[in-house]
Each structure stands twice: as structure tokens, then as C-alpha cells.
């Protein structure tokens, strides 16, 4: 399918339309935010078939999987946001130290202005709309750009946003040329999801306008399976997290490090699980997606030439099919361990200890997700303390990103900043500090000429613990114990 692109000369007009809405103060009122989110929700429901058809056309995304991970995910995020947005947007009262009294202190949550969202192809609906939801909830206008690598979905999203009919929520379609033009515009925040190479391009362009960025990136997310793990459950959850969307998931377990004593058992269990999920011939399964394009197909085929194929390994270039595949006996020098796999190839590597596994993880960049399978809580704690990651899940994969009460974001090479739920609202909000003082009283202690008495009073006022801090100290002490 050919890609629809926004004429480059129109891009400044689209951004200007969004900026005009901000300048008119149209996007700030809570009523606009709630109304826009409600209408977006209704349109998402109305356009469900068109979106699911487009996802199937782009890379055979199975319908139930697409609904769960794309539409359902976005609807639940909108519902969570609608339930909380009034509270999040309300001014927040905070304590005022004695020295600065009489006065009261508040944090006001202000929109930033015009937000730019640039999304990738692998979950093209939710990775575009969920950041947009957060930007709208925070009272911003938003200009979003879906990925050119999912062209049918890009068109379906354009139809949805056009139906919204508000220049404050706009879409630009296209690839590198259009995104390059878009990035010359001045935004008040850019959220980019994709790979680290383009993230650097985005950050450089943002620097020209001193625009803050949130970068949602990828990398190799490891799963560590210890000898104490429930192997059948671990195999099922790893296979699900890996082969969902044909492995094209930023937080898919990229590779497994398993204690040697349970290596063979785990490989067999993952193989059994693949058959249970997709039948004896996954190519015939309606529940298994395809690789997005020929470039990625060829890249992944090359990664198969390492170690021993224990499960799967079949490929079909015509339909861009790669079987759910488990490879064993790979080394860290093999290409499959040198880059993010982003496809249905799962290396399972035996290690002699959890410490060795942590050494492997820490030799690489900080991952977006870290998974540990163990029945031993202390072991889980040791893994969490021994290696950092954007997010983590104990005895599970992917699930941590579905909880809107948890932030979603990377660290180091896997990204900067976070969103989802309140964290998205905060990302697109300026937290403005406002102190209001009365003129009825004007204690002289902070004004010159300074005296020894004034100094004593200032010192006491600033160092006297606030009752709220006392309570925080009690709670901290409890945690330390
Ligand atoms: P992609 O090729 O669709 O690119 C993402 C976006 O960048 C697109 O909108 C594209 O138009 C734009 N782009 C591409 N080249 C550009 C350039 N030179 N200048 C400006 N813009 C450009 O997607 P991708 O990068 O292949 O996505 C896969 C990567 O994204 C993986 O590393 C994956 O782990 C990561 N990812 C991260 C998350 C997350 O939430 N952290 C989610 C999905 C994917």
C-alpha cells in the first residue's frame, strides 16, 4: 500500500493552527480536555473496524491481539485519564516554611503549549494516541506523526483525527522528509518513540528551540530464569511476551539467561508452549502476525545463522513469515546478541549463576524492561537491585506497562522521561510554583538592616521541622528498618 503524505509546504500551517488554538486559550479549560477525550474515545469505537483492518493489512496483526494491545489499551488509558484529569489539573496545596509565613504555596499545573508526538510502526495506534491523550489531558494542542512503515494504519488514524475536526489536535503523515520538516517547527515538548539513532536526530532538532524531549526507545530486554522458577509458567509468559506481534514489541524479552540446570527443561517448555499457542504450523495460525517489511525480514533472517535452532526456524519471504524460533548455544559475539532482535527469534543462553546473568545484563546498555522468573523473593530482589532497567516484571512479561498507575519509560539508551496515566499528564505539564503572601502582615525579619535577633529568627524559621516533614521522617525510618 502506498503512503499518504502531508505536503511539506502544508506542515507549517498545521502547526500554526495548533498554536493558534493555544494562543486563543481554547485548549486550557478542563471542559475542552474532557470533551476532546470523550470525542476521541467515541471515534476510536466508531473507527474500530477500520483500524483493525488497517493493522491486519500492514502486518497481519491478529484482530483480538490488535484490539487488546492497541484499541483496548488506548480506551482504558482514556477512561483512566477521564476519571482523574480534574484532580490532576487542580492546584495542589503544599506546606509553607515558617519563615515565609503568612503565605500559602501551591503547584499549578499548566499546559506547555503545542506538543509533537512521533510514533513508530509496531503498535501504531496506541503509541500515537496514548501520548496524545496525555498531551490533551494536560491542556495542550498536539501535532502527531504516525509511522510511514504502517501506511494503512497511518491513513486510518488520519481519518479518525480528521473526524475529530479540531485544528488543536492535528496529524501530519509521511516519512523522513515530512518528519524532518516537522522538526524544524517550534514545539513546547516532543515525545518520540522509536530507535536511538533517530532519537539523536530528534534531540538535535529540539535543541534548536530548547524544546524538552521524552524519548521512548528500545534495546535488548533480558529475561533471567533461575533454577527455582516455575518453568512451565515462565515458558508460557516468555513465549507470549516474545511472540506477540511476531516479536516486534519494544519490551519483548529479547533473550533469556537461564540457570544451566533448568536450561533444557525451559527450551522444551517454550517449544511446547509455541505449539499450544499457534498449533503445529504457526504459519497457518490466524493468531500470529508477520514481519512489517522486507528490510526487517532480511535483517532477521541473517540473525538466524547463529547457534542451534531448537524450535522453529522456518521462513517464507513471500509472506514475510518467520516461525516462532528458539535458538540455543549462541555466544555474546553472535550478531543476534549484538543488536535488538525485534522479531520472533529467542536466544536461550545457559548461565552458571544469577550473578553471571547480571554480569551479562550489565555489560550491555540499560534495558527498557528486565524480567526475572523465580520462586524466591530474595532472589528477585537481588536481580532488581543488581541491574537497572526502564521497568521490570517479576514472574511475568509485558504486563507492567498495562498498569496506568505505573510510569512507562526507559533509562539511558532505552530512553528518557516517562508517560502513561498521571506520568503522561506530568510530562506535558509545567509545574508552576505559586506562593501567595498577604500584605496585612509584613514581618521584618528577612529585610535589612539585619540584626542578631533577626538572624536567630530566620535560622529558627528555616530549620524548625514542618509537621509534614516530621511525619515523613517517621515513615522513612520505618522503611529503613
Ligand atoms: P520507525 O521506523 O517507524 O520510526 C519511528 C518514527 O521515526 C517514525 O515516525 C519515522 O517517520 C521517524 N523517523 C524515521 N527516520 C527519521 C529521521 N531520519 N528523522 C526524523 N524522523 C525519522 O520505527 P523504529 O525506529 O524502527 O521503531 C523500532 C524501535 O522503536 C525499536 O528499537 C523499539 O524497541 C523502539 N520502540 C520503543 C517503544 C517504547 O515505547 N519505548 C515502543 C515501540 C518501539
CA 343 – CA 254 distance, rounded (Å): 9
Q: Is the CB of 221 under 6 A from ligand 1?
A: no
- Looking at ligand 1, which atom is closest to the CA of residue 145? 9
Phi, psi for residue 479 in degrees, rounded to 5: -65, -35
pLDDT in tens, 18-49: 999 999 999 999 999 999 999 999 999 999 99
CA 344 – CA 300 distance, rounded (Å): 9
Q: Residue 250 catalytic?
A: yes
User: CATH 3.40.309.10: does it fit domain 222-409?
Assistant: yes
Q: What pTM did the predictor assign?
A: 0.95
pLDDT at 442: 87
Classified as helix, coil or strand, 328 is strand
Bridge-based pairing of strands 325-328 and 345-351 is parallel
CA 283 – CA 286 distance, rounded (Å): 8
* HSE of 399, CA atoms in CB hemisphere, 13 A: 10
Q: What is the mean pLDDT of the chain?
A: 96
Q: Whose CA is nearest to atom 22 of ligand 1?
A: 176
* Segments making up each domain of the chain, as ranges: 8-217+419-429, 222-409
Q: Is residue 466 over pLDDT 80? A: no
- Determine contact, residues 33/27, Cβ cutoff 8 Å: yes
pLDDT at 465: 72
The closest alpha carbon to 325, from 338, 340, 339, 336, belongs to 336
The closest alpha carbon to 218, from 258, 254, 176, 244, belongs to 254
Q: Tally Cβ neighbours within 10 Å of residue 43.
A: 17
Phi, psi for residue 474 in degrees, rounded to 5: -60, -45
CA 311 – CA 329 distance, rounded (Å): 13
Measuring CA to CA, how many Å separate 20 from each of 98, 169, 430? 43, 12, 19
pLDDT at 444: 84
pLDDT at 324: 98
Q: Is 402 exposed, middle or buried (0-12, 13-18, 19+ CB in 10 A)?
A: middle
Q: Is 144 exposed, middle or buried (0-12, 13-18, 19+ CB in 10 A)?
A: buried
Q: Is the CB of 120 under 6 A from ligand 1?
A: yes
Q: Is the CB of 216 under 6 A from ligand 1?
A: yes
Q: Whose CA is nearest to atom 15 of ligand 1?
A: 176
**Which residues lie across from 110 on neighbouring strands?**
430
Measuring CA to CA, how many Å separate 360 from each of 222, 224, 258, 307, 343? 9, 10, 12, 18, 21
Ligand 1 pocket test: which of 151, 178, 196, 198 has the largest number of ligand atoms within 8 Å of its C-beta? 198
Q: What's the grid cell of residue 381?
A: 530482589
User: CATH 3.40.605.10: does it fit domain 8-217+419-429?
Assistant: yes
Residue from 70, 148, 185, 216 carrying the catalytic annotation: 216
Q: Is the CB of 149 under 6 A from ligand 1?
A: yes
- Looking at ligand 1, which atom is closest to the CA of residue 390? 41
Measuring CA to CA, how many Å separate 477 from each of 465, 468, 472? 16, 14, 9
Q: Residue 48 catalytic?
A: no
The closest alpha carbon to 418, from 395, 389, 396, 393, belongs to 389
pLDDT at 355: 98
**Which residues lie across from 213 on neighbouring strands?**
190
Q: Is the CB of 191 under 6 A from ligand 1?
A: no
Q: Is residue 469 over pLDDT 80? A: no
Q: How far is the CA of 284 from the centre of ligand 1 (A)?
A: 30
Instruction: State the residue for C-alpha cell 527469534.
Output: 345
- Region 245-274: mean pLDDT is 98
- Looking at ligand 1, which atom is closest to the CA of residue 194? 30
Q: Is the CB of 415 under 6 A from ligand 1?
A: yes
- Looking at ligand 1, which atom is closest to the CA of residue 201? 19
pLDDT in tens, 351-383: 999 999 999 999 999 999 999 999 999 999 999
Q: Is the CB of 145 under 6 A from ligand 1?
A: yes
Amino acid at each position: 500500500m502506498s503512503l499518504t503524505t502531508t505536503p511539506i509546504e502544508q506542515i507549517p500551517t498545521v502547526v500554526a493552527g495548533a498554536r493558534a488554538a493555544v494562543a486563543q486559550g481554547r485548549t486550557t479549560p478542563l471542559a475542552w480536555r474532557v470533551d476532546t477525550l470523550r470525542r476521541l474515545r467515541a471515534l476510536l469505537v466508531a473507527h474500530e473496524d477500520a483500524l483493525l483492518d488497517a493493522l491486519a493489512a500492514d502486518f497481519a496483526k491478529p484482530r483480538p491481539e490488535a484490539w487488546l494491545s492497541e484499541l483496548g489499551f488506548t480506551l482504558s488509558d482514556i477512561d483512566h485519564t477521564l476519571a482523574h484529569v480534574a484532580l490532576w489539573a487542580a492546584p495542589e496545596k503544599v506546606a509553607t516554611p515558617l519563615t515565609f509565613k503568612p503565605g500559602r504555596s501551591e503547584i499549578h499545573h499548566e499546559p506547555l503549549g503545542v506538543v509533537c508526538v512521533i510514533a513508530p510502526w509496531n503498535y501504531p495506534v496506541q503509541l500515537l494516541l496514548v501520548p496524545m491523550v496525555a498531551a490533551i489531558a494536560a491542556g495542550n494542542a498536539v501535532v502527531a506523526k504516525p509511522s510511514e512503515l504502517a501506511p494503512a494504519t497511518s491513513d486510518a488514524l488520519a481519518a479518525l483525527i480528521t473526524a475529530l475536526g479540531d485544528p488543536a489536535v492535528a496529524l501530519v503523515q509521511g516519512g523522513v522528509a515530512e518528519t524532518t520538516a516537522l522538526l524544524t517547527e517550534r514545539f513546547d515538548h516532543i515525545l518520540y518513540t522509536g530507535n536511538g539513532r533517530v532519537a539523536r536526530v530528534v534531540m538535535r532538532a529540539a535543541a534548536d528551540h530548547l524544546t524538552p524531549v521524552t524519548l521512548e526507545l528500545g534495546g535488548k530486554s533480558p529475561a533471567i530464569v533461575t533454577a527455582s522458577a516455575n518453568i512451565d509458567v515462565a515458558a508460557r509468559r516468555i513465549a507470549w511476551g516474545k511472540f506477540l506481534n511476531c516479536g516486534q514489541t519494544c519490551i519483548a524479552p529479547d533473550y533469556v539467561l537461564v540457570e544451566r540446570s533448568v536450561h533444557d527443561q525451559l527450551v522444551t517448555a517454550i517449544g511446547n508452549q509455541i505449539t499450544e499457542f499457534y498449533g503445529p504450523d504457526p504459519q497457518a495460525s490466524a493468531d500470529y502476525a508477520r514481519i512489517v517489511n522486507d528490510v526487517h525480514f532480511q535483517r532477521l533472517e541473517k540473525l538466524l545463522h547463529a547457534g542451534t535452532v531448537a524450535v522453529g526456524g522456518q521462513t517464507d519471504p513471500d509472506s514475510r513469515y518467520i516461525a516462532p524460533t528458539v535458538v540455543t548455544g549462541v555466544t555474546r559475539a553472535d550478531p543476534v546478541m549484538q543488536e535488538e532482535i525485534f522479531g520472533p527469534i529467542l536466544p536461550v543462553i545457559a548461565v552458571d549463576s544469577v550473578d553471571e546473568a547480571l554480569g551479562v545484563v550489565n555489560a550491555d546498555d540499560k534495558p527498557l524492561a528486565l524480567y526475572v522468573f523465580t520462586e524466591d523473593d530474595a532472589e528477585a530482589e537481588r536481580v532488581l537491585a543488581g541491574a537497572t532497567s526502564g521497568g521490570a516484571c517479576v514472574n511475568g512479561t509485558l504486563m507492567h506497562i498495562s498498569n496506568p498507575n505505573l510510569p512507562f519509560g526507559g533509562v539511558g539508551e532505552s530512553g528518557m522521561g516517562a508517560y502513561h496515566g498521571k506520568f503522561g499528564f506530568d510530562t506535558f505539564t509545567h509545574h508552576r510554583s505559586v506562593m501567595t503572601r498577604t500584605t496585612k502582615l509584613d514581618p521584618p525579619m528577612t529585610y535589612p538592616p539585619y540584626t542578631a535577633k533577626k538572624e536567630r529568627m530566620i535560622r529558627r524559621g528555616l530549620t524548625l521541622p514542618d509537621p509534614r516533614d516530621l511525619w515523613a521522617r517517621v515513615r522513612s525510618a520505618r522503611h529503613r528498618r
